[in-house]
Amino acid sequence: MSGLTASARRALLVVVIALASVLFSTVAFAQTLTVALYPYVPRIDQFETAIRQAWQQVQPGVPLNFIDDLNVWDGGYDKDPPAQADVYVFDAMYFEQFRANNFLVAMAPNEIQNAADFLSYARDAVIVSGNYYAIPQLGCANILFYNVNDAPVANARTLSQLKGALNQCTYTSEIPPDRRGLLLDMDGRTTNATLYLDIAHSVNGSYPLPQPAQPNASYIADQKTMLNMSSFWDITSQNPNAYIRGVWYSQGYGRAFMGFTETMSNITPTALSSIGFKVMPLSDTTTNPPLFYVDAVGVNTTTVQHGTRNLAVQLANLIASTDVLVASFQAQSNTNPQYLMSVRNSVFQQLGQRYPIYQRMYQLAQTSNPIAFKLDQNARSWVAATAGTIRSQVRANYICGCDQKATQPIYDNAQAQSICPATCSSHGGWNGQWTNQPPAQGSVCGCNACPVQ
């Protein structure tokens, strides 16, 4: 620089420092990627371990940071993708909303690895105008579980046939006293809203799914039928174990239950050896394909500003890859496989060689010819505006009774005669039933009405 003036040297030095700053900033952003996984799986730590190990093989100089706080990321049900998340896994029912709000990077087909391996319903769910706006990772569906030797339930193809097999009002407790009735979760607002749309599609086959301002009474009636085969306390049970109904079924309670395939991760091997499962019949119409859910890996548009877009695409492909998913799903020491549903043919095929239940899951996914459960760009606002109404209408005029905890212990029928009328006085009166035997917790009286809010 000896030929430059002092002012020119200073100007050049400023430019060099600025360029170095930009280069350092770009490298700093690229040194760590932040991942927000779909949180509602049996063992999320198994996913993290599999992803870290696979990523270390291809990008050892780029550490991963995982978001594990539901207040930051909940799969998309209430939270928008956090800006710091380069890659996030979300319920694709919100795909159109996230795409409309510019939360998803568009990826060309040649950026998606082994795309032909995806089940068609999952692949179609994330493609718009030839581009992929996410990569499918997990599948899900409303599944009915039952004993393989229970022919009336196994052969029921319609909701009415299932009602004929299970009957209604067979128990009034949170947990059935024995092998009777249906177990299912119908408590949450989103659960009620999505189940309503699932029923509506089962009847009318409309797709894309309409999101009506007011629910249809006939679809509500089908949802009420499902409640009546269960009990008020069961469908409203709030338990930290999301798979608790599978646990209860393992323990000998309930004739059948509705849940997701991953519920089998919590079922004992003895119970699994005799379990059957199929897509839950949601109406009396059998001609329309069922809706299956998709969880997909999105690349955040903030990666463009961070300079991590291409690395994030590589990571998204890895998270949805066959090897990582097999490692994430498989059994660990003293555990079942996660029994999550795959959206890749190869994952089903590999796991099916070790776990026969995956062979049956694969056959179910293939023969059902499902389509993806997706809402439009107003998904959250529709759920917020309508879910409460759906839940209230489903619970209104409930025809079965409810157990109520007795005001004092009951040891015999004579005591019940004096205790239960008072216990049930504000719940439609006493129906003559009582128990102090498990699974009831303490002494309870059977009342004619439930405290429907």
CA distance 81 to 303: 12
Say what the alpha-carbon torsion angle 296, 301, 302, 308 is, to the nearest 10 degrees.
80
**What value does the mean pLDDT take over residues 7-15?**
50
Task: Write the CB contacts of 104 (distance below 8 Å, at least 6 apart in sequence).
Answer: 95, 98, 133, 134, 298, 299, 300, 301
What is the 3-state secondary structure of 51-107?
HHHHHHHHCCCCCEEECCCCCCCCCCCCCCCCCCCCEEEEEHHHHHHHHHCCCCCCE
- What pLDDT was estimated at residue 19? 44
Give me the domains of the chain, ranges plus CATH numbers.
31-140+294-329 (3.40.190.10), 143-288+370-395 (3.40.190.10), 402-447 (3.30.1490)
pLDDT at residue 31, rounded to an integer = 76
- Spatial separation of the C-alpha atoms in residues 169 and 447, rounded to whole Å: 12
Question: At 218, is the secondary structure helix, strand, or coil?
Answer: helix
The pLDDT, as a whole number, for residue 85 is 98
pTM of the model: 0.91
Q: Is 70 exceeded by the pLDDT of residue 431?
A: yes
Helix crossing, 322-329 with 345-354: angle to 10°?
A: 40
How does pLDDT run across 84-108, given as a tens digit for each residue?
Answer: 999 999 999 999 999 999 999 999 9
Q: Give the residue among 424, 430, 9, 39 at the shortest CA–CA distance from 242.
A: 39
Using DSSP bridges, classify how beta strands 182-183 and 256-259 pair: parallel, antiparallel or unpaired. Answer: parallel
pLDDT over threshold 50, residue 294: yes
Q: How far is 258 from 156, CA to CA, in rounded Å?
A: 14
Least confident of 17-26, 271-280, 443-452: 17-26
Tens digits of residue pLDDT in 211-255? 999 999 999 999 999 999 999 999 999 999 999 999 999 999 999
Q: How confident is the model at residue 335 (pLDDT cuts 50, 70, 90)?
A: very high
Q: Cβ distance 313 to 108 under 8 Å?
A: no
CA distance 249 to 257: 8
pLDDT for position 452: 61
Determine contact, residues 318/52, Cβ cutoff 8 Å. Answer: no
Of 395 and 2, the one with more pLDDT = 395
Residue 76's nearest CA partner among 334, 380, 314, 328 is 380
Query: What is the predicted pLDDT for the residue at 6?
Result: 52
| pLDDT at 63 exceeding the cut of 70 | yes
- The residue among 30 and 280 whose pLDDT is bigger is 280
State residue 12's pLDDT score.
Answer: 47
Q: If we measure between CA atoms, which residue out of 222, 214, 198 comes closest to residue 394? A: 222
- The sign of the torsion formed by the CA atoms of 212, 217, 222, 225 equals positive
CA distance 217 to 214: 9
Phi, psi of 296 (to 5 degrees): -130, 155
Q: Which two tokens stand for residue 395?
A: 């619970």
**How far apart, in whole angstroms, are the C-alpha atoms of residue 267 and residue 273?**
10
